[in-house]
């Protein structure tokens, strides 16, 4: 209809196939979510909440809790079950347990942790 040099037909090259083929080609991960640092736990955490320790532990030594059910007490007073899959200098990544939603991916700032306890 118009003499448009940028028409769709001008961008097709011989042997490249239709655009439908292009849309099915994968160029990398197509999903968003947790990084491949670890898998979500396959079972629910223990059915109890342990008592809060009398002393403050912070997050030092939490590396021993990798891939273990861990009960975490935050500085804010909140507490929850967590399954750490990656531990960095400033954050801990893993899965937090919710009775309503089950396990979901979460990161926690290490300086927000008051105390923790690991369980098998």
- Terminal CA-to-CA distance of the chain, rounded, Å? 71
DSSP letter (8 states) at residue 112: G
Task: Report the C-alpha gap between 2 and 33 in whole angstroms.
Answer: 46
Which DSSP category does 117 fall into?
E
Among 11-25, 42-56, 72-86, 104-118, where is mean pLDDT lowest?
11-25
| pLDDT surpasses 70 at 97 | yes
Domain positions in the chain are 62-119
For residues 78-87, give the mean pLDDT: 97
Q: Supply angle C-alpha 15, 19, 25, rounded to 5.
A: 90
Pick among 1.10.8.60, 3.40.50.300, 2.60.120.10, 2.30.30.100: CATH of 62-119: 2.30.30.100
Nearest Cα residue to 71 out of 60, 79, 61, 59 = 79
pLDDT of residue 120: 80
pLDDT, mean of residues 40-54: 93
Contact 105, 95 (CB under 8 A): yes
Assign 55 a pLDDT band (cuts: 50, 70, 90): confident
């Amino acid at each position: 209809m118009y003499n448009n040099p940028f028409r769709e037909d001008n961008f097709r090259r011989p042997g490249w196939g239709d655009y439908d083929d292009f849309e099915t080609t994968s160029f990398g991960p197509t999903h968003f979510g947790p990084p491949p640092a670890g898998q979500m736990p396959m079972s629910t955490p223990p059915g109890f909440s342990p008592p809060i320790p009398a002393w403050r532990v912070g997050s030092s030594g939490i590396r021993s809790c990798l891939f273990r059910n861990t009960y975490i007490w935050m500085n804010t007073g909140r507490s929850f079950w967590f399954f750490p899959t990656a531990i960095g200098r400033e954050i801990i990544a893993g899965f937090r347990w919710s009775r309503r939603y089950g396990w979901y991916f979460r990161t926690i700032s290490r300086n927000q942790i008051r105390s923790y306890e690991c369980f098998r």
